[in-house]
Amino acid sequence: MKVNVSINQSERRFLTGGYQPGDPMKLALTFEAEAESALVLCDQVFAALNSPISAPLGTLDVPHILAYHQTYPSLSVGDIVEVDGKRYVCQTVGWLPLETAGPKFPMGRFVATPGALALGIDLQALLARHTSGDWGDLGLEDQALNDRSVAEGERLLSSYDTPKGKVWIITEWDRSVTTILLPSEN
């Protein structure tokens, strides 16, 4: 199973009880693992990311887990574990499946720049976030601007911090093309 772990960067997540649509998320970890179900795997990921590094990590990818511990203290309420494309939000107790209502707008033709492709990350997961209205690491003002732009047919920009660098996704005003690029390629 393909696993992506995203950390909620919102300062208000503990006040709002966890994840809220539009919260800025940072992709922190991607790896492959096996488990009897997605929820069992979510529990294993939680245990591995919230245990001392010396604790047994089972079948999870040890080098990635160790790298995670060097950057982040733990997995917490409002963070997301994605298993084979389905997202689960970490709750105070257990996991809440994050239902996707589908795209909020047409993305047109999809284009990725050489720099974005060279990162070797899951671009489809970022596209799904973009088209669902998860604008990534934008500030609240820019997120609100994007929400208005969906309704008014204006250009859309998302920004995602990934373990391999920042990635932008731009959908043109006429929805004819969506481009994934590095900020340096703009």
pTM of the model: 0.52
Other CB atoms within a 10 A radius of the CB of residue 116 amount to 21
Share of the chain above pLDDT 70, in %: 82
Spatial distance between the Cα atoms of 36 and 80, rounded to a whole number of angstroms: 19
> Which of 49, 52, 51 has its CA nearest to residue 31?
49
β-bridge partners, 174:
none
20-33 per-position pLDDT tens digit: 777 788 888 888 88
The pLDDT of 174-182, averaged and rounded, is 94
Burial pattern 23-45, b for ≥16 Cβ within 10 A else e, equals: bbbbbbbbbebebeebeebbbbb
> Which of 127, 98, 89 has its CA nearest to residue 7?
89
CB 23 within 8 A of CB 78: yes
β-bridge partners, 30:
4
More confident of the two residues 92 and 173? 173
pLDDT band at 61; cut points 50, 70, 90? low
pLDDT of residue 180: 96
State the Rg of the chain over Cα: 17
Half-sphere exposure of 80 (CA within 13 A, CB side): 29
pLDDT band at 183; cut points 50, 70, 90? very high
